[in-house]
Structure 1
Amino acid sequence: MKKISILFIVLSLSGCAEMQQVMNQFPQTQGLGLIDISGGLKEALNNGITKQVTKLTAVDGFFKNEAVKILLPDELKKVDLALRKIGLSALADEGLKVMNRAAEDAVKEAIPVFVDAVKGMSFADAKTILMGNQDSATNYLQNSTSTALYGKFNPIIKNSFTKVGADKVWTNIITKYNAIPLVKKVNPDLTDYVTNQAMNGVFKMVAVEEKNIRTNLSARTSALLQSVFAMQDKP
């Protein structure tokens, strides 16, 4: 508790002179300052992006990862069921796969967007994140970047739909479904849906690495991570 109390005293001071005075009084802070604390959190987020998000860019990175696999939206579940009833199970399976393929392809191009977003973290953000929940840094990234990221991610998903052939597959699926007598016709915005689901998957994988760093000492692979996250460990 003493270590945590010291941390909150340090984090509440805004002046460099006051910060230095506290550091001199409490050498166990090991000289960690404003840049070090925010830098450690940025490193943790970058690790999540490079170690975990990169996995999503591989073939089946989404499709065979149950934690992030993109499933059909509710309005298309009836489409899936109807196609299977008339012997088009293979087409229904392909529709699900190509949605995930589009996400896998898009994340590959979007990683630099997430990396750049991490650079905007300030010490004012960091001081509440470090002592927060196991996914506080990830939540910060999600809350502060989702709107801007959507604007950049959506056209990538749209292009990926064309690149992996998802647009043709789903045009075929919707055409065949809408031709079934008495069904209510559908025209879903799959680009919007897959964009949101892909972003959710990315943040979920970043959270995996953040939790690992917060709870697993061996995951703190640099001196900075070890020093910063030691401050949030229970004594």
Structure 2
Amino acid sequence: MIKKLTFFSLSVVLLFTISSCEDFDDALGSNLSESEIVAGLKEALVVGTDTSTSILGATNGYLKDEAVKIFLPKEAQPMLENMEKLGITNLIQPLIDQTITSMNRAAEESAALDSTKVIFKDAITTMSITDGYTILTGNDSSATVYLKGRTYSRLLSNFSNIISPVLNKNLISGVNLSTEELYTKLINTYNDGVSVYNLAYTFNPEKQLDKITSNSLAEHATGKALDGLFLKVSEEEKAIRKDPVARVTSLLERVFGSVN
């Protein structure tokens, strides 16, 4: 019985290997070897992640890119909608601007870390032939999905280890106020305005406004920073797949040119 199972298992592996080779040949219609294909995919991922981290890790990489810029948490949206009504725009707009700038600066600092690139490269190094075939014949974001599945938890910890301390350190030397404390002050200022506003509608409660309950700014910023990072990686992947100009090495051109 054991021998039969062993023979069956080996047969499945052999058939899968042969099938994988045929799939690669069908997918490429070229003389590229499996090792060249996987090497090309790894190179594409290295290029894509290095480019993305370099772009986002530069000053204003997050802050000046509307596609990845980190804004206030969803919980703070009523504040943006009602601050003019409450007459506190001039009071809290500078606090909003400073909070947003600080979150994006922390994200930029995280993206620039060498350890961020190392996490990506660890996942790329372990890519198998099966992974390579799935990525090569998949949609425009297959490589990004592969990377996200293998790096997200480590990147979350990596980014959090930078973003949280940055948002908890003093904004200005000698001033005992961090970004987290600034955000708390921002929420409290808004809630004070709501209290005054609601007094005018004591007998008309349907017109009263709700106060905001503050959550962790660091948790929000970390999640959004990673969303932005993988968005950039996805954009780089699409460019390499579709635009010959983005294939910056001969290996990338051979592999992705064959697919096209």
Q: CA offsets per residue over residues 115-163 of structure 1, 9 Å max, x none?
A: 3332222221111110111111111111232223223322222123235
Q: Where do 5+ consecutive residues of structure 1 fail to align? A: 1-11
How far apart are residue 74 of structure 1 and its match? 1.8
Report the CA distance shift for 1:223/1:30 in structure 2 as closer, same or farther (over 3 A): farther
Aligned-residue RMSD, C-alpha: 2.7
Query: Share of identical aligned residues, percent?
Result: 35
8 Å contact 2:184–2:214 — kept in the other structure?
no
Residue 49 (structure 1) aligns with? 49
Residue 173 (structure 1) aligns with? 186
Larger radius of gyration: 2
CA distance in 1, matches of 2:57, 2:141: 22
Deviates more, 1:181-190 or 1:125-134: 181-190
Residue 201 (structure 1) aligns with? 228
The counterpart of 2:134, out of the listed 101, 123, 128, is 128
Q: Which residue type is aligned with residue 245 of structure 2?
A: S
SS, match of residue 64 in structure 1: coil
Deviates more, 1:173-182 or 1:122-131: 173-182
Residue 95 (structure 2) aligns with? 91
SS, match of residue 29 in structure 1: coil
Written as runs of structure 1 = structure 2, the 5 A alignment for 1:149-188 is 149-162=155-168, 165=171, 166-180=179-193, 181=195, 183-188=210-215
How far apart are residue 73 of structure 1 and its match? 2.3
Report the CA distance shift for 1:83/1:155 in structure 2 as closer, same or farther (over 3 A): farther
CA distance in 2, matches of 1:155, 1:61: 19
Residue 67 (structure 1) aligns with? 67
Q: Where do 5+ consecutive residues of structure 2 fail to align? A: 1-14, 172-178, 199-209
Q: Which residue type is aligned with residue 112 of structure 2?
A: K
Structure 1 segments, 4+ long, off by >4 Å, are 81-84
| TM-score normalised per structure 2 | 0.73
Q: Which residue type is aligned with residue 65 of structure 2?
A: N
8 Å contact 2:95–2:183 — kept in the other structure?
no
CA distance in 2, matches of 1:213, 1:185: 44
Deviates more, 1:44-53 or 1:60-69: 44-53
Deviates more, 1:157-166 or 1:66-75: 157-166
Residue 33 (structure 2) aligns with? 32
